[in-house]
A and B are shown apart, each in its own frame.
Chain A
Amino acid sequence: MELTGAQAIVKALEMENVKVIFGYPGAAICPFYDALMDSNIKHVLTRHEQGAVHAANGYARVTGTTGVCVATSGPGATNTITGIATAYMDSIPVVVITGQVSTEQIGKDVFQEADITGATAPFCKHNYLVKQAEELPRIVREAFHIASTGRPGPVLIDVPIDVQTRKIKFNYPDTVDIQGYKPNYKGHPIQIRKIAEALRKAKAPVICAGGGIINANASEDLVMLAEKCSIPVTTTLMGIGCIPSSHPLNLGMLGSHGVFAANYAIHHADLVVIMGARVGDRAMGTASKIAEKADIIHIDIDPAEIGKNVEVSIPVVGDVGLILRELLDLVTRGDVDRWIETLERVKREHPLKHADYTDSETVKPQYLISTLSEMAGDDAIVTTEVGQNQIWAANYYKVKHPRKFFTSGGMGTMGYGLPAAVGAKIASPHSTVITISGDGSFQMSMQELGTMRQNNLGIKIVILNNSGLGMVRELQKNKYRRRYYQVSMENNPDFVRLAEAYGFRGERITCNSEVREALERMLADDSPYILECIVDPEEPTL
């Protein structure tokens, strides 16, 4: 079959079973768009290329497949960088296709030329600059393979315009053989036996579960192991959802913005089992201290994460799902009754604040989010922005299932929430999709309201409006002697009228007594909604 390079990419995407692409056109990618028009693949036109990558990220996280997005050369390509870095830090499989100036013009600084493979090398699992059209089928095949296997991540394919127009014979390879890329899935049996032994002996074990559990679709296995051995579980920000929030063994999120009981457990444990998590500074900033008291087991698909930030007694490289299933056959419950009792007491003595109704002059975000999670139903998908809103959502939204809670964990990218919700709603049109936002973050991606409108996406946008950059303001309050500077956004737009400008309904609430009824109205049907909640700028994160 003779195809142009552009047609070959489209054909390859079809072979990869791609249903949706998020993107934004421009001259250097026009041959691809021309070919895409004749395909059944749906294209969602975002309002910014960063939004396209975040949407692909949200889509990938809902479906467990690889998200795909497209941009043109130069500024289109550079606009994807923050999205790529966000997906990279959170190990989300995304394939990014960019147009490039023609091969003979590369390096001459012609109009809209940017070295995007050079620029994204630090944030990509891998990238390609395609010089020969014949290589396109193999490269697309490899890109999907690399993005989705091992530790997932973004892969970028940069395609010069002449490569898109050249004719080639299309042969899609059945298999991939990359000499330098052979991820290891099976955990070493001796190490697995050592873990079982350590779990049996431990008097105060705790599991620290990260996003790797969700990537590996291993949530059920994790819960079974925790239940079988009565081991309490704390999750990282990325791990939220891998065990139901209300599960009696779930202590909540750990780390600098985490729950007291979770941090207590980590610091008093004699055995810490880290699974699918990378011991990041926000979750385990005191890792070396923890390791002084406890033996550390680290299970991860990425060998480079093991031993990077903490000394590990039992390292295991492999797929956490496979390893958990092998462990389940080997483990027996240890002598942990006293430990569980202690943690129950700690939980009782240090509950989360303000989750219950308190009359207040502003909306208490803790109450709002707890109530929202009660009312939205088990299948609702929640995305968050970054700042105080992210932490409130992480600690107060009760997530019941994996692949329902998406946030930019590693990068903390403001402007992630709304476009990620766009991707989620496209992936799962019948789910309630909610994005919890701050007034600052919302304004970083609010142009995606246009994408919502054009695609009739009934996303529910909850804006916690504290008239500024709450989390930075809090930092200035605590660390910079209340010298508040550039953290106030007094002249925010009227968000209700903004909703109306796009043809959406919107509503503003100012106190807790309005919360329940407003949420009822918001959740009553599947139409887009902006709920602006007036929050006290002094409200502390914790």
Chain B
Amino acid sequence: MAKHTLSVLVENHPGVLSRVSGLFSRRGFNIESLAVGITENPEISRMTIVVDGDDHTVEQVSKQLNKLIDVIKVKELDDAESVRRELALIKVTATASTRSEIVQLVEIFRAKIIDVSKNTLTIEISGDSEKVSALEDMLRQFGIKEIVRTGIIALERGNKVIKNNNGEE
């Protein structure tokens, strides 16, 4: 099944997140990831939701989201027409003998080391999901102790913006 990225502008009210996530479970839609934060307008939050499903399912998801009163605008982002990023923090076991190899990997991936202890390194990486997964794969041999990922956030390329007045963009 294909993955689709939806950008959703919602009222920044308590309870909105539970309405949205409740809708997904109730209607049997699969969320791959959901990231949310406020926008340039503090009354509005923006969710980026990655959905697993065929075109029919995604159309239904959009329509059902639009029915929620707190949802202001839903837009599916075209992969090629948008920039997508995910942030991950990875805590990996590091011994005297592996430490330099890990540091090298981090450089190749243009990631960052943000915390160091006697036997661990914590790495910050951002990029598309594939890049994050690739680094994760490479680090696995050293022993990953913990990992946290934000889920995808995305914006359209170029001039395009999602306006919050209905219909137009």
- Interface residue ranges, A against B (CB under 8 Å): 117-118, 121-122, 125-126, 129, 146, 178-182, 302-304, 307-308
Task: Please tell me if B59 contacts chain A, counting CB pairs below 8 Å.
Answer: yes
Quick one: CB contact mask for B137-160 with A, threshold 8 Å, 1 for yes?
000000000000000000000000
Which B residue sits closest to A306, measured CB to CB?
B63
B60 — which chain A residues lie within 8 A by C-beta? 304, 308
Nearest A residue to B74, CB-CB: A180
Decide: A180 near B70, CB < 8 A? Known: A303-B63, A308-B60.
yes
Interface residues in B5-34 (C-beta closer than 8 Å to A): 10-11, 15, 18-19, 22, 26
How far is B68's CA from A125's CA once the two chains are assembled, in angstroms? 8
Q: Is the CB of B66 within 8 A of A146?
A: no
Taken together as a complex, chains A and B put the C-alpha atoms of A424 and B74 apart, in Å, by 40
C-alpha spacing A38/B66, complex, angstroms: 40
Q: How far is the CA of A118 from the CA of B19 in the complex (A)?
A: 8
Chain A to chain B contacts (Cβ below 8 Å), 10 pairs: A122-B22, A122-B26, A126-B68, A179-B11, A180-B11, A180-B71, A180-B73, A180-B166, A303-B66, A304-B63
Please, how many angstroms separate the alpha-carbon atoms of A125 and B23 in the complex? 12
Q: Kindly provide the distance from the CB of A293 to the nearest chain B CB, expressed in whole angstroms.
A: 21
Contact of A121 among B22, B66, B72 (CB under 8 A): B22
The answer to whether A126 and B22 touch across the interface, beta carbons within 8 angstroms, is no
Contacting residues, chain A, for B15 (C-beta < 8 A): 117, 129
Is B72's CB under 8 angstroms from A179's CB? yes
Cβ contacts under 8 Å, B69 to chain A: 125-126, 146, 178, 180-181
The chain A residue sitting closest to B26, CB to CB, is A122
CA–CA, A390 and B131, complex, Å: 60
- Inter-chain CA distance A272–B63, complex, in Å, is 23
Task: Tell me if B68 and A118 are in contact (CB < 8 A).
Answer: no
**Those 9 A-B pairs whose CB atoms lie nearest each other, nearest first:** A304-B63, A180-B72, A126-B69, A179-B72, A182-B166, A181-B69, A180-B71, A122-B26, A303-B63
Instruction: Convert B63-89 into 0s and 1s, putting 1 for each residue whose CB lies closer than 8 angstroms to a CB of A.
Output: 110111111110000000000000000
A182 CB contacts on chain B under 8 angstroms: 166
Alpha-carbon distance between A180 and B44 when the two chains are bound, in angstroms: 11
Contacts of A118 in B (CB 8 A): 18
Bound together, the chains give a CA A129 to CA B70 distance in angstroms of: 14
- A526 CB, nearest partner CB in chain B, Å: 42
Q: Are A304 and B66 interface neighbours, CB within 8 A? A: yes
Closest chain-B Cβ to A304's Cβ sits at a distance in Å of 4
**7 extra interchain contacts, Cβ-Cβ under 8 A, other than A122-B26, A179-B165?**
A121-B22, A146-B69, A180-B66, A180-B68, A180-B71, A304-B67, A307-B59
Q: How far, in angstroms, from A146 to B73 measured CA to CA in the complex?
A: 18
In the bound complex, CA of A390 to CA of B14 (Å): 42
Closest to B27 in A: A122
A178 to chain B: closest residue by CB = B69
Asked whether any CB of chain A lies closer than 8 Å to the CB of B164, the reply is yes
A179 to B10 CA separation, bound complex (whole angstroms):
9
Q: Count residues on chain B whose CB falls below 8 Å from chain A CBs.
A: 23
Contacts of A125 in B (CB 8 A): 69
Question: What distance in Å separates the Cβ of A57 from its nearest Cβ neighbour in chain B?
Answer: 21
Smallest beta-carbon distance A378→chain B, Å = 37
Q: Are A304 and B64 closer than 8 Å at their CB atoms?
A: yes
Give the Cβ gap from B126 to chain A, nearest Cβ, in Å: 31
Min CB distance A226 to B, Å, is 29
What residues on A are CB-neighbors of B64 within 8 Å? 304
- Residues on the B chain within 8 Å of A146, using CB: 69
Assess the A179–B164 pair: CB atoms within 8 A. yes
Q: Is B166 in contact with A179, judged by CB distance below 8 angstroms?
A: yes
> A179: which B residues are within 8 A, CB to CB?
11, 72, 164-166
Q: Give bound CA distance, A126 to B69, whole Å.
A: 7
A-side contacts of B71, CB under 8 Å:
180
A19–B127 Cα distance when bound, in Å, is: 60
In the assembled complex, the CB of A234 is this many whole angstroms from the nearest CB of chain B, namely: 26
- Determine the chain B residues whose CB is within 8 A of the CB of A117 once the complex forms: 15
Cα A182 to Cα B168 with chains together (Å): 13
CA A327 to CA B105, docked complex, whole Å = 68
Interface string of B40-69 (1 = CB under 8 A from A): 000000000000000010011001101111
Select from chain A the residue with minimum beta-carbon distance to B59: A307
| Complex-state Cα separation, A221 to B53, whole angstroms | 40
CA–CA, A275 to B108, complex, Å? Answer: 60
Residues of A within 8 A of B19 (CB): 121
B165: chain A residues at CB < 8 Å are 179
- Chain A residues with Cβ below 8 Å from B11 are 179-180
In Å, the complex CA distance between A94 and B71 comes to: 22
In the assembly, what is the distance between CA of A370 and CA of B60, in Å? 42
CA distance A179 to B165 in the complex (A): 7
- What residue of chain B has the Cβ atom nearest to residue A151's Cβ? B67
> How far, in angstroms, from A119 to B138 measured CA to CA in the complex?
45
Give Cα A118–Cα B140 distance, bound, in whole angstroms: 41
User: Which of B11, B69, B72 has the most C-beta atoms of chain A within 10 angstroms of its own C-beta?
Assistant: B69
Within 8 A of A (CB), among B95-138: none
Closest residue to A308 on the B side, CB-wise?
B60
Q: Which of A118, A146, A180 has the most CB of B within 10 A?
A: A180
Q: Which residues of chain B are near A303, meaning CB under 8 Å?
A: 63, 66
Task: Report the separation of the CA atoms of residues A403 and B11 in the bound assembly, to the nearest whole angstrom.
Answer: 37
Contacts of B66 in A (CB 8 A): 180, 303-304
A408 to B102, CA, bound (A): 65
Q: Once bound together, how far apart are the Cα atoms of A125 and B60, in whole Å?
A: 17
Q: Are B166 and A302 in contact (CB under 8 A)?
A: no
How far apart are A31's CB and chain B's nearest CB, in angstroms?
A: 24
Measured CB to CB, the closest approach of chain A to B55, in angstroms, equals 11
Whether the pair B67, A121 counts as a contact (CB closer than 8 A) is no
A178-B69 Cα distance, complex, nearest whole Å = 8
The minimal Cβ–Cβ distance linking B70 to chain A, given in whole angstroms, is 6
